[in-house]
A and B are shown apart, each in its own frame.
Chain A
Amino acid sequence: MTATWQKCIRLKEPLLTKPFYVFAGLAAVALLLGLFRELTGLGYVTGLNDGYSWGLFKNWNVTALTALGSGGYAVAVMAWIFNERKFHPILRTAVLTSLLGYGTGMLALGVDVGRPWNFIHMNNPRNWNPHSVLLEVAVCMTAYALLALDMENMPPFLERIYRGSDPQKSARALKFFNFMQKTFPFGIALAFVLPSMHQSSLGSLMYLAGNRVNTLWQTPRLPLLYLLMAYILGFACVLLVLLLSSYAWDLGRDSVILGKLASVMSWMTLVWLAIQFIDLGYRGVVGQLLIFNRYSVCFLTETILLLIPAIALRSASVRATAGSLFRMTFLLTLGGLLYRFTPTTIAFNPLGDYRYFPSVAEILMSIGFTSIAVVIFLFAVKKFAILPASAGKIAAEAAMPPFDTL
């Protein structure tokens, strides 16, 4: 069913459903295992070793999934900088997925680092190593998640207080919101600069590893490729979340918004693939693609997973049908995530005889951290006005108007 999304609504649905319990259970398992890890050591719960010292937590939950969590960044750039006003109704969904992506990524990071108590020394910039790319990633990600993303996610929360029964609280929420509005341009600008910096730096991170990363992936263009992939996956994540939500809660589908998202995403993917292959040619390593060892097979898999959906999504009819749009975006997401995951694991070659495969506990924790994001998402869309809806659905809500400036 097509619709024209205009504003955000709060879903009037029961919170404690079966999926909620399943994801909450997975989240609880992860938190318990995380506690066990903090009391024992990384070696007892993970498959990490001295050769592959970064595994699922850093490479999947942080490097790959924060790219997926770049929806708030990518959609906001479209809505604000390129002034595509039609994207405003989906901004709240986008920035929420970002907050959850980054939040759970940082949780995984907290479990992964061996000596977390020393984070306290990061408060003193005199301890910083200005040359460290990792420092830049850590500081930028924290600032983005704690300042910019929190600010962007504030309006639905204030709106809820404003709509509450207590007139005093309501007035205070309005006052705070009016104050915040004055700082929004500065906050949103921060939400553009910080992700540009740390998403590209995630690529530089692997550049330091030199020839330990297979030559198909290792290139001075890693920062550019990583940054563009964050945009692509950000769009993909928002698309998938909106498609699933509209299916689950009957929100209708705004084919103009979804189509435009998919169109921009597929163009960017094609540009991304072009840059990658020009770079391969420039470095003279295209021949390595035809060796068909595990590296070339993995690289070709990534390429195919990105190329097929990118071409298919150029067709307006593919973009217009919910089923094909979902399937193609899903394939593209798999390809993009694989690319983000590969350089530090599959394409990583430490000297010596090391093998890494995540342990069961590690996999459970990784899934569990993502489940925390799902649980909070389910909670948020049923308590706050997050998801977009058509005029008809909004009229049916018949409540006070939301703080619709964001």
Chain B
Amino acid sequence: MLTGNNHLGGPQRPTPVIELLGATLCRGGSTEEAGVEQVQWQVHAGDYWVVVGHADAGKSALLATAAGLLRPLVGCHRLFGNDSSTLTGHALTEARRCIGFVPEGGARLLQHLTLAENIALPLRYHQNLSPEQAAPRVNPLLEGLELGPLANSTPGQVNRGARQRANLARALVLRPLVLMLDNPLVGLSPAQVRWWLDLLDQLARGHDGLGLPPMTLVVTSEDLRPWLSRGRQFALLKDGRWVLLGDRETLAPAHNSNLSEFLEQDRF
């Protein structure tokens, strides 16, 4: 397990699990073009962050950078207290194992593997397990995320909702400390949205049924409404700027003109 050093000393809050300090993020798929600038962000253990922004506002780049998959063009990124630019080889792999990443829209499952094989892959790879040895950890996830009947289907044979749940199961199989979800509710029915929100609440508190400890959650979304009563900390990406909105208690959408467009009932 990676442990960082608290350079500030004293009995204050423990070292953030993720820090972006004065970071300029890449834009879209480019690794050279600048997107959001001056991101100043600390994610602590137990946080439940909701980052809202329009499409192409830089939400995916923010998550990828925070997870250590992209380097910020400018500024500093720390994972578990360690400067990510100094992490290589085993240390970088260890850091990535502690972060579960759920991409948008059920994408990025390996198309030649079944859902069960996709979910088992990180566990089997990192712990050198056979499929039979991985099954006791994979089967509860398949059942818990309602994927049991689809376990032997390939991603191309199932719908978007199932792919999205398979991505979540794959992210959870290594029991990460931090779970990052990129726009997880997009394209889901109201019932599925409710299922996801309830499950994420349970994951934030610790999911007894799946045997998972409390997790730090970071979620991006284009719609703030479902998250108002769920998230604990909020931030906004708008016009290439990073805006910290505060926690649920201090968040006052009615008085925040930045947020009105993310709260309209009929914006679609």
To the question of whether A and B form a pair in one complex, the answer is no
